[in-house]
Amino acid sequence: MHAHLGDRLIVESPSTGVVRRDGEIVGLHHEDGTPPYDVRWSDTGDVTLIFPGPDAHIHQGGLEEPASSGPPPAGDTGVSPQSGDIGRRVAAARRRQGLSLQETARRARISPEYLAYLETRASDPSLGTLLRVADALGTTLLGLQGGDQERPPGQGKALHHPHLRDLGEQECRALLSTHGVGRVSLTTPRGPAVFPVNYEVVDDAIAFRTAPGASPAAAVGNEVAFEADHVDDALSQGWSVLVVGRARAVTDPDAIAALEEQAHSKPWAGGRRTLWVAIGIDRLTGRRITADA
């Protein structure tokens, strides 16, 4: 390992590969640029003597890092597709407070560069850093870490200017993707009921497995509703797709074999579930909530 003054030392988690810390090399102890180094950490501003381990590497030229992994310039950035859950929650909380990147970093006593990195790249900041960021944003450590994920989704605050729009058929199909977890709504002898199921999208139908005597099997021969959705609590937005159609039992051995072969997952509920049910897509609608442009 060889470094120059001004290079960045990046320390990644050995198990996940996400950034845990980064800092500027401000002191060299050998003329050839080999360790150890004096590093000024971006999250605390402290300078420490570091002997880099196998989870550390050097980025040459300070903040000028590859677009695929490095932090963007210290500006007021939005949420990047590469950001982790913590970064998304930090960015959303900062926008709700109406704070700039620089002001938030000043309040949290970290560098704007590190905060930009945290918001736009998957990272694993220290507990102390998260506590300071949470305090600066008027939220809690639990909220930034997603420790409230066992609660029902949608407990965050609504967007100031939400935009609700209907989705076209192609977008609905794209959101359903090839498989996932959705809900089947049907009428049982005890009244209306909704059951979560692992589903597959096959041709022009939604297919799921159940046990012949289980409650979802009552869908067979009836018109039912199937719904899949996604709620992004960090950004207070989401989508839902609704399918209405008649359910039938799949009885053809070749069709059953094909479904078994292409199924992406066994039913999460476990157990012996040998009945495949296919819901025809007679009506397909969807809606999405986003921030008003």
The crossing angle, in degrees rounded to 10, of helices 101-108 and 127-136 is: 120
Are 21 and 111 found together in one domain? yes
Q: Domain range holding 219?
A: 165-291
Are 61 and 121 found together in one domain? yes
- CATH code of the domain in which 39 resides: 2.30.30.440
Are 138 and 208 found together in one domain? no
Are 114 and 172 found together in one domain? no
> Could you read off the pLDDT tens digit of each residue along the chain, which spans 293 residues?
888 888 888 887 655 555 667 888 878 888 888 899 988 887 777 788 888 887 788 877 544 333 333 444 444 444 444 556 788 889 888 888 889 999 998 998 888 888 888 888 777 777 778 888 988 988 887 778 766 556 677 777 787 888 999 999 999 999 999 999 999 999 988 899 999 999 999 989 999 999 998 999 999 999 999 999 998 776 778 999 999 999 999 999 999 999 999 999 899 988 889 999 999 999 999 999 988 76
Total domains in the fold of the chain:
2
Are 141 and 218 found together in one domain? no
Nearest to 124 by CA among 71, 91, 86, 81: 86
Are 5 and 33 found together in one domain? yes
Are 147 and 169 found together in one domain? no
pTM of the complete model: 0.57
- Domain termination site, one of 151, 173, 203: 151
Are 141 and 179 found together in one domain? no
Please indicate, yes or no, if residue 87 is contained in any of the structural domains: yes
Instruction: Note the residue count of the chain.
Output: 293
The pLDDT of residue 96: 82
Please indicate, yes or no, if residue 157 is contained in any of the structural domains: no
DSSP state of 75: S
Are 41 and 145 found together in one domain? yes
The pLDDT of residue 276: 97
The pLDDT of residue 77: 42
Please indicate, yes or no, if residue 171 is contained in any of the structural domains: yes
Are 139 and 173 found together in one domain? no
Please indicate, yes or no, if residue 110 is contained in any of the structural domains: yes
Q: How do beta strands 8-12 and 237-249 pair?
A: unpaired
- CATH code of the domain in which 202 resides: 2.30.110.10
Please indicate, yes or no, if residue 156 is contained in any of the structural domains: no
Q: Quote helix, strand, coil % in the chain, to nearest 5.
A: 25, 35, 40
Tokens of 227: 């719904």
